[in-house]
């Protein structure tokens, strides 16, 4: 089964990135994420491009996945387990929720965080929160 999250990260032309002063806060909170995550988040917030959500979700999750397990995200099946398959611990999951709140400008409760066990769970929650 092909997951909506299993998408190749788009190449980001440097000339297409917004000026640094345009969204300094977004740049700061995503400084440990890939440029494609930042670009997707910027497009999502600036132009309402909901098609960027899968790139944002994978980019945010990747930040909390140990380097030796990140290759598993390339075939990002909805069934991929956050803890067992990707090594995302409970503290990282809370941090992921806080970062997602900040990037997507949504509210995620502690109860919702506790229900996140797979990539599919994260995808469905984020889509619900942003109204996709």
Rounded to 5 degrees, what angle do the CA atoms 51, 54, 58 make? 155
Give the tens place of pLDDT for each residue, 9-21. Answer: 555 544 455 555 5
CATH of domain 22-130: 1.10.1200.10
- What is d(CA 27, CA 17) in angstroms, rounded to the nearest whole number? 11
How does DSSP classify residue 19?
P
Q: How far is CA 10 from CA 38, 70, 94, 121, 128, in A?
A: 11, 17, 27, 23, 23
Tokens of 77: 């099946």
- The reported pTM is 0.81
3-class SS at 43?
helix
Give the tens place of pLDDT for each residue, 42-84. Answer: 999 988 889 999 999 999 999 999 999 999 998 879 999 999 9
Q: How far is CA 3 from CA 6, 56, 100, 104, 124, in A?
A: 5, 15, 20, 21, 12
Structural domain spans, the chain: 22-130
């Amino acid at each position: 089964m092909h997951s909506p999250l299993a998408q190749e990260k788009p190449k980001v032309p440097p000339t297409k990135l917004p000026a640094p002063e345009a969204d300094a806060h977004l740049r700061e909170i995503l400084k440990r994420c890939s440029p494609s995550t930042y670009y997707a988040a910027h497009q999502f917030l600036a132009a309402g491009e909901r098609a960027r959500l899968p790139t944002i979700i994978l980019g945010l999750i990747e930040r909390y996945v140990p380097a030796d397990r990140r290759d598993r995200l390339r075939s990002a099946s909805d069934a991929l387990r956050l803890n067992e398959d990707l090594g995302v611990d409970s503290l990282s999951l809370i941090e992921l929720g806080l970062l997602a709140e900040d990037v997507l400008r949504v509210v995620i409760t502690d109860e919702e965080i506790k229900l996140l066990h797979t990539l599919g769970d994260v995808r469905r929650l984020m889509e619900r929160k942003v109204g996709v």
